[in-house]
Amino acid sequence: MRKSRIILFFLAFLVWTLLGWPVDFQHLLVGILIACLVAFITGDMFVKRPHVFKSLKRYLWFLYYIPVFIWECIKANFDVAYRVGHPDLPIKPGIVKVKTDLKSDTALTFLANSITLTPGTMSVDVDSENGFLYVHWISVQDQDVEKATRIIVKRFEDILKKVFE
Amino acid sequence: MNEIIGLFFITVGLFFDFFGCLGLVRLPDVYNRLQASTKSVTLGTCSILFGLFLFKGFTAAGIKALLGILFLILTAPVAAHALSRSAHKMGVGLCKESVCDEYAKEKK
Amino acid sequence: MKRLRWLIGLLAIIIILGMVIYYPFESLLEWQSEFLKRSFSVLFLCAVFCLWRIFRGPTAADRAVAIDILGILILGFCAILGIPTGRDWYIDIGIAWALQSFISTLALAKYMEGRNFDE
C-alpha cells in the first residue's frame, strides 16, 4: 500500500517535470505538492504489485521488447498500405479465438495493444478468466485455436511473460 | 542536418496518414476500417511528432512531442478495442467476405 | 475495367499530392517552410475522408470510428503547425485535444454498448 503510493508519486512527479520542461524551482515545488495529492487520492489503484518494480531483469527485457514492437509496427503499416492500395482489396476477414497464458491485467493490456498494432490483427475482446482473446484478423490463415495462437500471440507472449509476470 | 531528417520523418508520417484515411473510405465494414485506420494513423502521427522533436531538440515542445508519442501508443489501441467490442455487442455484422466469427458463436 | 478505374483514381490522387507537395525551391529554408505549409493540405485531404465517412457511414459505429481518427489527426495538425510559425504552445493544444478525444471515444463506446457510465 505505502510502496505503491511512493512509486505513483515518483511517476506523477516525472510526468510533471517533463511537461513543464525548463526546470525551475517554483515548478518543482508545485509539482511535489500535486504529486503528493495525486498519490494520496488514487492510492493503490494504479500500481497493484509494487514488488515487480524492483528487479533489473524486467527493465532489460522491456528494453528488448521496444525494438521488436517498433519493427512489427512498421511492417504492419506497409501491410496496410499494400492492402488499401491494391485494386482488388485482398482481404479475407474473420474473428478467431486465441489462447494465452498471461494472467495479470497489465500484461493482458500490453498483449492486446501489441496485437492491435501488429500486421493484420486487432483484438476485439479479452476473456481474462479462461485466458482467451478474440482477434479480428484481416486475412485468416488458420481457424484452429492452436495454430492461430502460434502465428499471432507467440511473437510477444514470451517477452511479456518475462516482463510482467 | 537534423531538419532534413525531421522533414523525412514528417513526409513518411503524411504518407501513412493518407493511406490510413484512404482505408477508412475504401474498406467494407467497421472492423476492417478500424484496423487499417488505427494502425496507420497512429504510427503516422507518431512519426510526425518525432519529426517535430528532431526540429525542436530538447526544448519544451520537443519533450512534449515525446510525451505525445508515448500517450498515443498507449491510448489509441485501447480506443480501437473499446469501439470494436461495442460495435460487436451492438449487432453490427461482419462483411460478406468474412470467413468465420468465433465471437458470435461464443455469445450464444 | 475495374483496374482501369482504380488506376485513373490513383493517378489523380498522386497528381494532387504531387501538386500539393512540390514547390520550386530557391533556398533551403524557404523551401522547408513552404513544404510544411503545403503539407497541411495532405492532412486536410485525410480530414475530408474522415468527414465523408462521418457523413455516409451506414451505422453509428462507423461514425464513432471516424471521429476517433479525426481526433488523432488533429494532434498531427497541431504538431506541424508548431514548426513554421515557431510557436511552442500548439503542441499543448494538440495533446489536450487528443486526451479529450480519447475519453469521449471511450464514453461513446460505452453508450453504444448500452451500459451505464458508472460501471
Q: What cell was used for A41?
A: 487520492
DSSP assignment of C1-23, as one string? Answer: -HHHHHHHHHHHHHHHHHHHH--
Nearest to A99, CA basis, from A48, A50, A153, A25: A153
- Taking each continuous run of H as one helix and of E as one strand, the counts in chain B are 4, 0
pLDDT at C22 (0 to 100): 65
- Given CB atoms, is C86 within the 8 Å cutoff of chain A? no
- Cβ-nearest to B3 among C32, C53, C68: C32
- Under 8 Å CB pairs connecting chains A and B tally to 134
Per DSSP, the three-state class of B89 is: helix
Range with lowest mean pLDDT among A12-16, A137-141, C15-19:
C15-19
Q: Is A73 on the interface with B (CB under 8 A)?
A: yes
Which region among A8-17, A128-137, C27-36 has the lowest average model confidence (pLDDT)?
C27-36
Cell of C12: 489523380
Cell readout for B25 is 473510405
Identify the residue whose cell numbers are 458508472.
C118
pLDDT(A164) > 70: yes
Q: State residue C25's pLDDT score.
A: 46
Q: Is the pLDDT of residue B99 over 50?
A: yes
Which residues on C lie below 8 Å from A87 (Cβ)?
2-3, 6-7
ipTM (interface pTM): 0.87
What percent of chain B clears pLDDT 90, i.e. is strictly above it?
Answer: 9
Q: Which of A142, A55, A146, A61 is nearest to A107 (CA)?
A: A61
Q: Domain residues for B65? A: 2-107
| Of residues B31, B64, B88, nearest to A93 (C-beta) | B31
Cell numbers representing residue C78 in the block: 497541431
Q: pLDDT, tens digit, for every residue of C73-118?
A: 999 888 888 888 878 888 889 999 999 999 999 998 888 887 666 5
By the CB < 8 Å criterion, does A18 face chain B?
A: yes
Q: Does the CA dihedral A29-A30-A31-A35 come out positive or negative?
A: positive
- In this prediction, residues B17-35 reach a mean pLDDT of 87
How far does the CA of residue A54 sit from the closest CA of chain C (Å)? 30
**Pick from C17, C80, C94: which is nearest to B10 by CB?**
C80
In this structure, are residues A17 and A64 in contact, taking their beta carbons and an 8 Å threshold?
Answer: no
Domain count, chain B: 1
Q: What are the phi and psi torsion angles at A99 (to 5°)?
A: -110, 145
Q: Crossing angle for the helix pair C60-85 and B2-26, nearest 10 degrees?
A: 160
CB-based contact, A67 to chain B, within 8 Å: no
Residue A87 contacts C where some CB pair is shorter than 8 Å = yes
Least confident of A77-81, B33-37, C12-16: C12-16
Q: What are phi and psi of B29, to 5 degrees?
A: -135, 175
Domain ranges of chain C: 2-113
Residue A26: is its pLDDT beyond 80?
A: yes
**Quick one: pLDDT at residue C103?**
92
CB contact under 8 Å between B52 and C62, yes or no, is no
B99–A76 CB contact, under 8 Å? no
Helices (H), chain C: 2-21, 28-56, 60-85, 90-113
SS3 category, A146: helix
**Residue C119 and residue C107: Cα distance in Å, rounded?**
11
| pLDDT-above-70 percentage for chain A | 99
Contact of A115 with A152, CB cutoff 8 Å: yes
How far is B43 from B27, CA to CA, in rounded Å? 19
C48 vs A: CB within 8 A:
no
Give CA–CA dist C80/B51, Å, rounded.
9
- Check C75 against B45: CB less than 8 A apart: yes
Stretch A36-65: mean pLDDT, rounded? Answer: 81
Give every CB contact of residue A23 below 8 A, 6+ residues apart in sequence.
A17
* A79: pLDDT strictly greater than 60: yes
Please state, rounded to an integer, the average pLDDT across all residues of chain A.
84
Q: Which three cell numbers stand for residue C53?
A: 465517412
C10 touches chain A (CB under 8 A): yes
